[in-house]
Structure 1
Amino acid sequence: MKMLLTVQFPLEPFNSHVRNGKAGEIIARILEDIKPETAYFTERDGKRGGVFVIDLQSASDVPRYAEPFFLNFDASCEFSILMSPEDLEGAGLEALGKKWG
């Protein structure tokens, strides 16, 4: 199942990793391990952040994706389900509207 993993990095320990030259190396190791479909780095609520599209096979995969960010950066991680237009088409919205609307 495709998921959007949104990560927010607190200033510390990220700043310390930048100062000691380790931030890029750690990020590269994490990306190599989680192999996101896409990866973007951006600002999140005034802090460093990242947005990644990943493919979860089961809910038990969540720690595999989150722990590297938790343990290395004290980051927060949010997972959101992604649907393609085809997924949405197959959701049966018309029938749900008739049943619940």
Structure 2
Amino acid sequence: MRVMLRAHMDTAATNEGIKSGALPQAIKKLMETVKPEAAYFGLHEGVRSCWIVFDLQDSAMMPSLTWDLFQEFHAEIEVAPVMKAEELAKALGALHSS
């Protein structure tokens, strides 16, 4: 299932993670694990944030995928199913034809 992980990370924790190299390592590890369709990084609500779209093969992977973000960077994380525009059009077409 295609999902989007959104994480807002604590400023003090990410500052330390940048200095120590832990933040780039954690992001690299996450990217290598999920092999994202898309990944964006920026500011949201005044804190460092990321939006990562990937295929979640097994929901049991979530604890290990999010551990570093929670543990090291005190992140607030949301994961939600998402779809492409073509998939939405197909789903809406199916609703319209019923």
Tell me which interval the TM-score lies in, with the shorter structure as reference length: 0.7 to 0.9
Q: Indicate the residue corresponding to 1:93 in structure 2.
A: 95
> Would you say how many aligned residue pairs link Structure 1 and Structure 2?
96
Partners of 1:61 and 1:95 lie apart in 2 by 37
Partner of 2:83, secondary structure, is: coil
Partners of 1:49 and 1:3 lie apart in 2 by 16
Partners of 1:12 and 1:34 lie apart in 2 by 26
Matches within 5 A, 1:1-101: 1-91=1-91, 92-94=94-96
Partners of 1:8 and 1:59 lie apart in 2 by 21
Gaps of 5+ in 1: 97-101
Q: Percent identity?
A: 29
Describe the superposition over 1:15-55 as per-residue Cα deviations: whole angstroms up to 9, x where unpaired: 11122343223322232223222211011110000110111
TM-score (norm 1): 0.76
AA partner of residue 74 (structure 1): H
TM-score (norm 2): 0.78
Aligned CA distance change for structure 1 residues 61 and 22 (closer, same or farther; 3 Å):
closer
AA partner of residue 94 (structure 1): H
Partners of 1:64 and 1:3 lie apart in 2 by 16
Gaps of 5+ in 2: none
Q: Is the CA contact 2:34–2:55 (under 8 Å) kept in the aligned structure 1?
A: no
Larger radius of gyration between Structure 1 and Structure 2: 1
Name which of structure 1's ranges 35-44 and 84-93 shifts more when overlaid on structure 2. Answer: 84-93
- Runs of 4+ in structure 1 over 3 Å off: none
